[in-house]
Amino acid sequence: MNQSIQILTHLPIDIPGLMASLRSPITGGIVLFSGEVRNINKGREVSFLEYEAYELMAQKKITEIVEYAIRKWELNTALCVHRLGRLEISDCAVLVLTASMHRAQAYDANRFIIDMVKREVPIWKKEYYTDGSFEWGNNIDCQCNVTAEQSIHAHSLLPTREDHLLS
Amino acid sequence: MDNITLKIVFFGSLKSYFGSQLQMNVTKGSNLVLLVKQLADMVPDSIPMLGSCKIAVDSELKSEDFSIVQSHEIAILPPFSGG
């Protein structure tokens, strides 16, 4: 991953600029995933979101995930940027770009990266609702598509523990 | 017994119980389970949330038997919700 890219940012994510930064004569396809702020979650009307991160660890984890995906799918390049702070409806919360010679690798790697970011990176979302209440998010029940094989392979490079305390 | 002073940092919903950070003394050689039990004793209402947390020591996830022998930054990490 390009080291000059800011992985965590409080500013709006520059999607066209980052997309342009990945273009290369050797690339046949770029897959773009933008995770956006939805106005309804679990039947409740969302007003806005706030994201926070354990920043040093989150940057390190995202870098490890992206570098692993580049190696596994032999991508030309890839990046992932996550927003922090207050986000409004339809803002881009997370951007994943994967560039490869052929589209299959770019699609597979992109899905892997976003699933791993949701599962493995210390970032938290606080949802504020239009009725004035709020709730912290939880990705435990998210529909991640990381297969057992991918997860095992990733874990050999991304040391994590599933241990839960007091359990 | 030697005591070690740790910086404990909290995120997400745990901040409503402990604030963003606190300093805590633990006995040298104690493990992360004992540390979490100390936190649970401080704020019993936090026990259900503490039970679903992972712990990072100096930004690296560690298992519950990790032995604390020097000063560290310990992060208590509720279930993630990025993306």
pLDDT, tens digit, for every residue of B7-16? Answer: 999 999 999 9
List residues of B whose CB lies inside 8 A of any A CB.
9, 11-13, 32-33, 36-37, 40, 47, 50-56, 59-64, 75, 77-83
Q: What angle do CA A57, B66, B43 make, to 5 degrees?
A: 80
pLDDT over 80 at A165, yes or no: no
**ipTM confidence score:** 0.94
Q: Is the pLDDT of residue A144 over 80?
A: no
Instruction: Tell me if B63 and A82 make a contact (CB, 8 A cut-off).
Output: no
Q: B83 and A52 in contact by Cβ < 8 A?
A: no
Cβ contact A52–B55 (<8 Å): no
Q: What is the pLDDT of residues A19-54, one digit of tens each?
A: 999 999 999 999 999 999 999 999 999 999 999 999
Min Cα–Cα distance to chain A from B3, Å: 23
* H helices present in A34-130, as ranges: 55-72, 103-120
* Mean pLDDT on A58-83: 98
Please give the pLDDT value at position A143: 54
| Residue ranges of chain B whose pLDDT lies below 50 | none
What are the chain B neighbours of A117 within 8 Å (beta carbons)? 82-83
Chains A & B: contacts with CB separation below 8 Å: 100
Q: What is the DSSP letter of A10?
A: S
Q: Which residues contact A114 (CB under 8 A, 6 or more apart)?
A: A33, A35, A80, A94, A96, B83
What's residue A4's pLDDT? 72
Residue A156: which H helix or E strand, with range? Answer: helix A148-157
Whether B83 sits inside 8 A of A118 (CB atoms) is yes
